[in-house]
Structure 1
Amino acid sequence: MSSTDVDKLELGITEDITHLSIQGHFANANHPSPPVAAPPPANGSVLGLFSFGSTCIVLSLYNAQASGITIPNAVVGMALFVGGVSQFTGGIIEFCRRSTFTGSVFCIYGTFWLSYAAVLLPGTGIASAYNGEENMLGDALDIYLIVWAIITVMFLIVALRKTVALITVLAALVVTFLLLAIAEFTGRSAFAKAGGIVGVIPGFGALYIGLADLLAADPFPPFLLPQGDFKH
């Protein structure tokens, strides 16, 4: 075999290797690796339920005059940041998860706590504007609480086919708002105390549902809590 033939043979091998290399490169380019599935969005209902439940329990115990407390203004900080900001954030997360019901519940009750704290804060001047007109202030708060009772009834109607736990929380919350409204209208502290006692029920109920959702979201929960789901 001549040197010319050897050169041609080597050249042919080089061309084949180069061709296969280029072909393989473009073959890999035409087959990208499969996309990695994104993790599911976080459940904002746990944040909303814990925020609502804890703030509701504190205010209800104050209204029930636990430990002789008759002025509930110490709840302002918690109403602003836990019941207000934290719960509203949970509602936004639920809206991002396309959950209209829970997003609406947490956002609207988050604004309830913010507005209630604004009434109690002396710096806002809301309560002081009624100096000398305590009866008018009572009537104004009576209307305020009745409106929130109506809103809660609307949520209760939607919740009638969800869970027994949620129905219990919303029903007890309606009674709480009505008792507090009667207390403002009549000026009788006994109704406010009764509203505080009943208000503990939706508070602990919200914590129960929040814990149930938290356990259900855990891949290896130590146990699960029943909520009384309805079969559809």
Structure 2
Amino acid sequence: MSSTSTAEKLEAATYEDVHHRGHFANANAPPPPPPPIARPALPNGAALGLFSFGATCIAISLYTAGASSISIPNAVLGLALFTGGVAQFTGGVVEFARGVTFTGSVFTIYGTFWLSYAAVLLPNTGIATAYDGETRMLQNALGIYFIIWSIITAMFLLTALRKTLALVILLSLLTVTFLFFGITEFTHGNSAVAKATGIIGTITGFGAFYVGLGELLGADPNPPFLLPQGVFKH
């Protein structure tokens, strides 16, 4: 039996590679896939949400307390619509995009709070004018409205109990603030209750500023200083 030459073996192997495996066995390996493109980290939306809420809360609280003899709160509409509403809602969307459910939920829902409250104050919506001649009914309806928000805030407070002391204090104050706003409506604008509500709400607003500034400084790579937040050890 005649032996197969080395050249014939190589030719047969080459034919098999081309027609059965689709490439040469001794061909160069395909280049590795390019590395994934690094995406920049999403910004922290907490400072935006906290500053937006704090500014609007301070304004409406001062009006409620009767500062500078202000008795009509409609000047807060711009803040409620664009700062407390749109800007704070945007901060919540950023937090959701970062995968942070807690702050995303907090800022988006309080953004809707300010938008809905502004809708009540806007004359053209017809919400307040539907109670024409029924001022007490409107006040009672708003009282229920604020009590609901106090309950929502209390649930956020329960979730925040193991986060930071500053956040726990802020949400505790906010729970009481909404409760007092409701009591103010139920007591039909009692001056003493309204003044207490305004004082508590103003403190709450500045508390939001404090936590917001802490978030802003913490997100800066070279902050001039840091504010203590009271982080709990887990």
Are the aligned partners of 1:48 and 1:106 in contact in 2 as well (CA < 8 Å)?
yes
Separation (CA, whole Å) in 1 of partners of 2:37 and 2:147: 51
1:195 is matched with which residue: 197, 215, 219? 197
Give how far 1:202 is off: 1.7
The answer as to 2:218 corresponding to 1:216 is yes
In the superposition, relative to structure 1, how do residues 220 and 28 fare at CA in structure 2: closer, same or farther (>3 Å)?
farther
Kept in 2, the 8 Å contact 1:47–1:86? The answer is yes
Gaps of 5+ in 2: 1-26
Pick aligned residue for 1:225 from 211, 224, 227: 227
Could you tell me which residue of structure 1 aligns to residue 21 of structure 2?
none
Greater helix proportion: 1
The corresponding residue for 1:111 is: 112
Cα deviation, residue 31, structure 1:
5.0
1:72–1:28 distance in 2 versus 1, CA, 3 Å: farther
Give CA-to-partner distance per residue, 1:116-145, whole Å, 9 cap, x none: 001111111111111111111111011101
Structure 1 residue 27: deviation in Å? 7.5
Q: Deviation of residue 34 (structure 1)?
A: 4.3
Q: Which residue of 2 aligns with 1:175?
A: 176
> How many Å separate the matches in 2 of 1:135 and 1:56?
24
CA distance in 2: counterparts of 1:80 and 1:226, whole angstroms: 31
**Equivalent position SS for 1:109:** helix
Alignment of 1:6-45 (within 5 A): 30-31=31-32, 34-45=35-46
Residue 67 of structure 1 corresponds to which residue in structure 2? 68
1:161 Cα deviation after fit? 0.9
Residue 28 of structure 1: CA displacement?
11
CA change 1:27–1:82 in 2 (3 A) is farther
Q: Which moved more, 1:34-43 or 1:184-193?
A: 34-43
SS in 2 for 1:41: coil
Percent identity, aligned pairs only? 66
String of CA shifts for 1:118-175, please: whole Å, max 9, x gaps. 1111111111111111111111011101100000100010011111111111111111
Secondary structure of 1:30's partner? coil
Aligned residues: 207
Q: How far is the alpha carbon of 1:189 from its aligned partner?
A: 2.6
Match of 2:154 in 1: 153
CA–CA separation in structure 2 for the residues paired with 1:219 and 1:28? 43
| TM-score normalised over the length of structure 2 | 0.84
Which structure 1 residue ranges, 4+ long, deviate > 3 Å from structure 2? 26-29, 31-36
**Shift of residue 32, structure 1, vs aligned partner:** 6.2
CA contact (8 A) 1:168 1:202 kept: no
RMSD: 1.7
